[in-house]
Structure 1
Amino acid sequence: MNIYRLSAIFLFFLLNAGSSFAQQATNPVIYADVPDLSMIRVGDTYYMSSTTMHMSPGVPIMKSTDLVNWEMVSYAYDTLADIDPMNLDNEKRAYGKGSWASCIRYHNNRYYVSTFSSTTGKTYVFSTKDIEKGEWERHEFSPSLHDNTLFFDDDGKIYMIWGAGKLMMAELEPDFSGVKEGTEKVLIENASAPAGDNIMLPAEGSQLFKVRGKYYLFNITWPRGSMRSVVIHRADNINGPWEGRLALQDKGVAQGGLIDTPDGRWFSFLFRDYGSVGRIPYLVPVKWEDGWPVLGVDGKVPDTLDLPASKGLIPGIVNSDEFTRKKNDADLPLVWQWNHNPVNELWSVRDRKGYLRLTTGRVDESFVYARNTLTQRTFGPVSSANTRMDASNMKDGDYAGFCALQRKYGQVGVKMTGGEKFIYMISNETDTPVEMESLPLTQNEVYFKIDCDFRDRKDMARFYYSLDGKSWTAIGSPLKMEYTLMEHFMGYRFGFFNYATKSPGGFVDFDYFRVGAQLTEKQ
């Protein structure tokens, strides 16, 4: 064989090896805020639920066929409760509250999702036969059982485990009307113990699994001076005795559970706190040793996985929207969520063809109490979104535009003062909203853009406007984004808003929402 043929063969294998490597999935598998994930596999399809707290609709349900590429398929509920905190009424709000960690299960050809809410003081179980297109049946009872896991055992009994540090367990009534009287008990007195005795965050986030006849209970805990960690307990009987061990302590990747593939491989699905983009999902390979799931590669979270590569979060998790709707189209695709409960009479994608219209319905003193702010997730490592807004029908005292929503929010938009319009940028980086720049606007249509840079936790947002949609001008100052646990407790979101400070009834029209993964300027 001559040297040219050898070189050609070598080049062929080299290129194919590179191609194979490029097709591997990488961690994080979703570089966006999808916390408290719970997961099941039904046949060759995976379903996942997550937390979006005060957003409406709530408890998003996602679908995948490869554990890496996910798409939105449903929400467990449209409205958690018609109460003041969820409606932003009477100076009450539910930022960072609403519903928390959910648990998804499949039993007897039916899907179940449990969650809980300190806002309402209740525990919820939602069920459906068709997880992608069916209606969800709702069950609720008091009290609110923190970070609960729903479990259907082989003997027909239905259990719920909940708590922090001291974990409780009880049987549920078959109709999910509440806890069976006399069944509540302490399951594990100190579930944090395998991680030491100096604990900052007691073991919580329970998720229970049964594999080959044994019970495995996953929890997250946080030893002082260390990081979020995975603790696993196992037992031969659900009532115990339970033995526990520290299962993973790397990069703060924790809270989740087990999932297997149709070809017999095992993974643990977990999340990681990653600055202002939020809590982002990771997958960790699992092997079994002496009846224990062993997480990671030599105890570490790998950067690459033997799974198909991600095709990106667009259009499955976030997506552009031209607001064009056919007669039978849903008014809003599933990628959208409202900040708190919407007032449906005050928004429309039908009143003006190809536009989202937001109309003010009351006077608000603060942006954080404004109704009908429509949002989508930001994502990393960088993301950018832009829109065109028609401000023709604003009233004096109105503020409308585009925002990066979290507690320390940033806004770029149009305000109307003294009968004149101004482009403005507001920063709430210091927890006090400050107008950083204001410019006269002599036309009704204006374009806005927000860039988010999450690389290496840079966490910077920049705000732009344009008068022609071609040439962009930075306005105000960059916003140092911060993930705040108090109140908002979620990653930053792009959002449309419109609120009145003097009199209601003004409206603005947004022509489109276009999102991508390229910044306006090199940074």
Structure 2
Amino acid sequence: MTSFNNPIIPGMAPDPSIIRVDHDYYIATSTFHWNPGVQIFHSRDLVNWSLITYALQHDEVNLRGTNTPAGIWAPHLSYDEQTHKYWLAYSHMQNMAGREFNADSYAMSADSIYGPWSAPVYLTSIGFDPALFHDADGKHYVSILEWETRTGYQAPGHIVIAEIDLENGGIIGDWHRVTTGFTTRGCAEAPQLYHHDGYYYLLIAAGGTGYAHGVEIGRAKQIFGPYEPNPTGEPIITSSPQHLFSLGDPDAGHFEMINPHSRMQKAGHGSLVQTPDDEWYVAHLMSRPLKGTTLNPLGRETSLQKMTWTSDGWLQMADGSNLAKSTFEGPRATSGPQDLTADDLDITFQTVTPDQHFMTPYQSQTTDWVNTTERPGYLRIHGRNSFFSQVNPAIMATRATSLNYTVQTTVDFAPVHYSQTAGLGLYYDSNNWIYLCLCPSADGQHTIVKVLQAKLGDRLDHRFDVAIVPANHADLKLDYVNGQATFAYRFTATEDWLTLGSAYDVTYLSDEGVNGEPGEIGGFTGLFNFIGSVDAYQHASVADFSHYQVRNHLTRKEN
């Protein structure tokens, strides 16, 4: 058998939900405050994956004002064999203050994975991480975490299951509380139902979203239980197999559980799929921290583990352990190769719509502020709010997918007011970013290039390292190496690159380094590269970008 490298989807691709329809595999992942919402990836071999579409593309949700790390959580893909419809369930997390965790959950359907998707049908506000199960008798069920807010009760709550009317969205009968977890790790969430050899299996995430994360399993003869836990009493997949007792502990970090012998950390939140040859795999999230730290700039990525069923009907990793691996055995029908450079980007702007890899924080991509038609061959970005804004920041961004890479662009920009800027940078959220930009000099006599930065909500103006930009035109470059960012510029393609300032420590642009909601450990989204523009003067300036290139210098195997 051939081994392949994890992650299979690098960069921000958390909470993977995997399905197979005929010989096609699909994975949906969370997108939080980013638009379009819910990334959908495709593969024919479980090894090589490509982004093909998004489910929430038409303002189905309003993400303006979303605090880190709220937004669109844990989408769940399913396929109803009887109706031949694709279904997607997701939560819109709107508030996490006071650990109230107010989320509304919805379901949508489509005849094609590419859509069009139906209008979202409301499911519940009982908690988050809904998943649909289509039983052989034609009935449908939803499983979800019921979020616990009562003092003195085990947090975060029960996994609950109910029959559901998918056509109208109503719950049929009562919610059934089935478990608070199958191990002592606590923080049970993301319940997903499967039926195999006469049992209903409930796969759940546990241990919080940090270093104690894992995948747990239980089973029952009846869908509402009672569910018996996996007899090992431990997760079936985790990066940290040491025993942990943390019932009722809401901490998502558990830094004491970091595994010093593993490149892969935080393995958990899994989803099960069967190949046509009756092989079984779990897609799960994981992270790769910067060496010597507990900081994860790339957020939570998607990996794959091969599984097997034991003689007494329990799911386990194919090697008999529960330690998630950085390589996995591919399906028998797959011989490779695995394209480890597929995440490089070389984008020009010759099409009517921008490349689908571009995502936008908080607001949607609309032609009134970003388009390729006003100046054909260029991506024109109209300056809008400051990048501190959670309403209308004019940012076009792509997921960072390596810990060593270069981003490059060329921009034409003629600012006339000190609040107008345009350029290239790194972005986590509205409080945390860094930006090599063109802007007016302090006296307004020249266009200059300099670095602006947001760190934990503070604005830093690196105003002593500047260069005058002739003709309002510049090539801009960003080198990211293990949490250090270096910016460079030139004014013609034949010139040498000139470094602006020194290297900037941007390790804080990571899940554990940012200032998320009070009570949370930063965020759990991930780092993005971006081009963008600000105009807090008249919203009248435009920045024209001729290309956008990302070159990863370390593959996912080497990171």
User: What letter is aligned with 2:472?
Assistant: N
Give distance in 2, aligned partners of 1:138 and 1:471: 52
1:226 CA drift (Å): 6.7
Give distance in 2, aligned partners of 1:288 and 1:41: 19
Match of 2:305 among 284, 289, 293: 284
1:284 CA drift (Å): 1.1
Aligned equivalent of 2:266 = 252
1:406 CA drift (Å): 0.7
Aligned equivalent of 1:48 = 27
1:480 CA drift (Å): 2.3
1:319 CA drift (Å): 2.9
Aligned equivalent of 1:195 = 183
Give distance in 2, aligned partners of 1:442 and 1:76: 43
Contact (CA 8 Å) 1:278, 1:492: kept in 2 or not? Answer: yes
Aligned equivalent of 1:270 = 284
> Kindly, what percent of the aligned residue pairs are identical?
23
Cα separation, partners in 2 of 1:303 and 1:224, compared to 1, 3 Å: closer
Match of 1:461 among 475, 485, 508: 485
TM-score (norm 2): 0.79
Contact (CA 8 Å) 2:104, 2:128: kept in 1 or not? Answer: no
Give distance in 2, aligned partners of 1:379 and 1:249: 22
Give distance in 2, aligned partners of 1:157 and 1:249: 33
Matched, 1:161 2:143: yes
Matched, 1:30 2:9: yes
Q: Deviations over 1:196-251 (max 9, x none)?
A: 2xx4x511122221222321111121189972122111112111110113223324
Aligned equivalent of 1:172 = 164
1:459 CA drift (Å): 2.8
1:147 CA drift (Å): 0.9
Contact (CA 8 Å) 1:395, 1:503: kept in 2 or not? Answer: no
Aligned equivalent of 1:450 = 478
1:176 CA drift (Å): 4.1
Give distance in 1, aligned partners of 2:211 and 2:297: 21
Mark the runs of 5 or more structure 2 residues left unpaired by the alignment. Answer: 95-101, 146-155, 240-264, 289-295, 331-335, 518-522
Give distance in 2, aligned partners of 1:125 and 1:303: 33
Give distance in 2, aligned partners of 1:461 and 1:298: 42
User: What letter is aligned with 2:427?
Assistant: L
SS in structure 1 opposite 2:346? coil
1:410 CA drift (Å): 1.2
SS in structure 2 opposite 1:502? coil
User: What letter is aligned with 2:542?
Assistant: F
Contact (CA 8 Å) 1:195, 1:231: kept in 2 or not? Answer: yes
Bigger radius of gyration among the two = 1
Contact (CA 8 Å) 1:318, 1:335: kept in 2 or not? Answer: no
Give distance in 1, aligned partners of 2:271 and 2:209: 23
Give distance in 2, aligned partners of 1:386 and 1:426: 17
1:464 CA drift (Å): 2.1
Q: Which shifted more, 418-427 or 278-287?
A: 418-427
Cα separation, partners in 2 of 1:173 and 1:278, compared to 1, 3 Å: same
Give distance in 1, aligned partners of 2:56 and 2:273: 25
Q: Which shifted more, 487-496 or 57-66?
A: 487-496
Give distance in 2, aligned partners of 1:473 and 1:225: 40
1:35 CA drift (Å): 0.3
Give distance in 2, aligned partners of 1:53 and 1:356: 25
Cα separation, partners in 2 of 1:225 and 1:159, compared to 1, 3 Å: closer
Q: Deviations over 1:82-114 (max 9, x none)?
A: 64xx23xxxx34442221001000112111111
Match of 2:393 among 343, 360, 371: 371
Q: Deviations over 1:380-413 (max 9, x none)?
A: 2422211000013654420111120114311111
SS in structure 2 opposite 1:264? coil
1:254 CA drift (Å): 0.9
Cα separation, partners in 2 of 1:287 and 1:366, compared to 1, 3 Å: closer
SS in structure 2 opposite 1:443? helix
Give distance in 2, aligned partners of 1:475 and 1:423: 9
Cα separation, partners in 2 of 1:263 and 1:484, compared to 1, 3 Å: same
Contact (CA 8 Å) 2:383, 2:543: kept in 1 or not? Answer: no
Contact (CA 8 Å) 2:37, 2:54: kept in 1 or not? Answer: yes
User: What letter is aligned with 2:11?
Assistant: A
Aligned equivalent of 1:480 = 506
Give distance in 2, aligned partners of 1:117 and 1:321: 31
Contact (CA 8 Å) 2:51, 2:357: kept in 1 or not? Answer: yes
User: What letter is aligned with 2:394?
Assistant: N
Give distance in 2, aligned partners of 1:495 and 1:218: 36
User: What letter is aligned with 2:358?
Assistant: W
Give distance in 2, aligned partners of 1:75 and 1:318: 20
Aligned equivalent of 1:75 = 54
Aligned equivalent of 2:345 = 319
Cα separation, partners in 2 of 1:178 and 1:94, compared to 1, 3 Å: farther
Give distance in 1, aligned partners of 2:6 and 2:388: 39
SS in structure 2 opposite 1:253? strand
Aligned equivalent of 2:413 = 391
Aligned equivalent of 1:340 = 362
RMSD between superposed Cα atoms in Å: 2.6
Cα separation, partners in 2 of 1:430 and 1:232, compared to 1, 3 Å: same
Higher helix share: 1
Give distance in 2, aligned partners of 1:262 and 1:142: 32
Aligned equivalent of 1:101 = 74
SS in structure 2 opposite 1:36? coil
Cα separation, partners in 2 of 1:516 and 1:364, compared to 1, 3 Å: closer
Q: Deviations over 1:301-348 (max 9, x none)?
A: 23332323421353xx663211012xxxx5023212111223431221
Mark the runs of 5 or more structure 1 residues left unpaired by the alignment. Answer: 1-19
Contact (CA 8 Å) 1:111, 1:127: kept in 2 or not? Answer: yes
Give distance in 2, aligned partners of 1:153 and 1:331: 40
User: What letter is aligned with 1:76?
Assistant: A
Aligned equivalent of 1:231 = 216
SS in structure 2 opposite 1:312? coil
1:510 CA drift (Å): 0.5
Q: Which shifted more, 42-51 or 92-101?
A: 92-101
Cα separation, partners in 2 of 1:178 and 1:499, compared to 1, 3 Å: farther
User: What letter is aligned with 1:129?
Assistant: D
Give distance in 1, aligned partners of 2:416 and 2:380: 12
Q: Deviations over 1:254-282 (max 9, x none)?
A: 11121122222111111113310111111
User: What letter is aligned with 1:378?
Assistant: A
Give distance in 2, aligned partners of 1:435 and 1:223: 37
1:421 CA drift (Å): 1.5
Give distance in 2, aligned partners of 1:51 and 1:80: 16
Contact (CA 8 Å) 2:470, 2:491: kept in 1 or not? Answer: no
